[in-house]
Chains A and B, each alone.
Chain A
Amino acid sequence: QKEVEQDPGPLSVPEGAIVSLNCTYSNSAFQYFMWYRQYSRKGPELLMYTYSSGNKEDGRFTAQVDKSSKYISLFIRDSQPSDSATYLCAMSSWGGKFYFGSGTKLNVKP
């Protein structure tokens, strides 16, 4: 079983839609949860991180962590064509190595 599972998509939505991206994991020691955005032929860039459980909001983006279910989500409100990219979840225990999901490709149609 992989440490982190992520649906590869692709996910295609109309502009303005609410997007939900998800990852599941198996290691209960994970405490740091991150979402990265990767545009085509670019390096991943950090969007948001959350420590332990709970929600975190940043503009149109909301990250949620449910440690009891080993499930994390990223919500994008009022999605824009510029949000079209691959979104990777990542997680780590304290001082431990990172584990990345395989990425979900998102396409927001104008």
Chain B
Amino acid sequence: DAGVIQSPRHEVTEMGQEVTLRCKPISGHDYLFWYRQTMMRGLELLIYFNNNVPIDDSGMPEDRFSAKMPNASFSTLKIQPSEPRDSAVYFCASSPGTSGGQYEQYFGPGTRLTVT
């Protein structure tokens, strides 16, 4: 299995532009997670899906952020409009969700976003 795939790996954009991050989870995994990692705040959970349905989006910082999962093999995280404080590494992770928990999360390589 190729693991969790994220694109792009690096994104540099100007303030005010729309940014779309993409994720392909591991086939057969029921859970998908979006995280943001910064030096100041560490790894933060933004939103997670179970069977393509958003379960908890309480970590989404504000209305500028939105996430979708149209099918089991694809998810997007969109920021519109982007701001310099959105600069971070964004990780997607998926989990088979066995035993009722989501402990076995597999992370993608991340997208390093820089907003100037």
Give residues in A with beta carbon < 8 Å to B. Answer: 31-32, 34, 36, 41-46, 49, 88, 92, 94-95, 97-103
Judged by DSSP, the binding face of A is loop
Q: CB-CB < 8 A to A99: which residues of B?
A: 45
Q: Which 7 A-B pairs have the closest CB atoms?
A: A43-B107, A102-B42, A100-B43, A32-B103, A49-B103, A32-B101, A44-B107
Is B100 on the interface with A (CB-CB < 8 A)? yes
Nearest-neighbour CB distance to chain A for B62, whole angstroms, equals 19
Contact yes or no, B104 A92, CB < 8 A: no
Give residues in B with beta carbon < 8 Å to A. Answer: 4, 33, 42-45, 48, 56, 91, 93, 100-110
Contact yes or no, A94 B110, CB < 8 A: no
Question: Given that A42-B109, A43-B109 are contacting pairs, would A98 and B45 also be in contact in the complex, using a CB cutoff of 8 Å?
Answer: yes
Q: CB-CB < 8 A to B100: which residues of A?
A: 94-95
Nearest-neighbour CB distance to chain A for B88, whole angstroms, equals 13
Rounded to whole angstroms, the CA-CA distance of A41 and B48 in the bound complex is 23
Nearest-neighbour CB distance to chain B for A41, whole angstroms, equals 8
Contact yes or no, B91 A43, CB < 8 A: yes
Contact yes or no, B45 A92, CB < 8 A: no
Q: CB-CB < 8 A to B48: which residues of A?
A: 97
Name the residue in B48, B91, B105 with the highest tally of chain A Cβ atoms < 10 Å from its Cβ. Answer: B105
21 chain-A/chain-B pairs, Cβ below 8 angstroms? A31-B101, A32-B101, A43-B4, A43-B108, A43-B109, A44-B43, A44-B107, A45-B106, A46-B105, A49-B103, A49-B104, A88-B42, A88-B43, A92-B102, A92-B103, A97-B56, A98-B33, A98-B102, A100-B42, A100-B43, A103-B42
Contact yes or no, A45 B101, CB < 8 A: no
Task: Known pairs A32-B103, A43-B108; list 6 more (Cβ under 8 Å).
Answer: A31-B101, A43-B91, A46-B106, A94-B101, A97-B56, A100-B44
Closest to B110 in A: A43
Q: CB-CB < 8 A to A32: which residues of B?
A: 101, 103
Nearest-neighbour CB distance to chain A for B3, whole angstroms, equals 9
Rounded to whole angstroms, the CA-CA distance of A41 and B43 in the bound complex is 13
Nearest-neighbour CB distance to chain A for B105, whole angstroms, equals 7
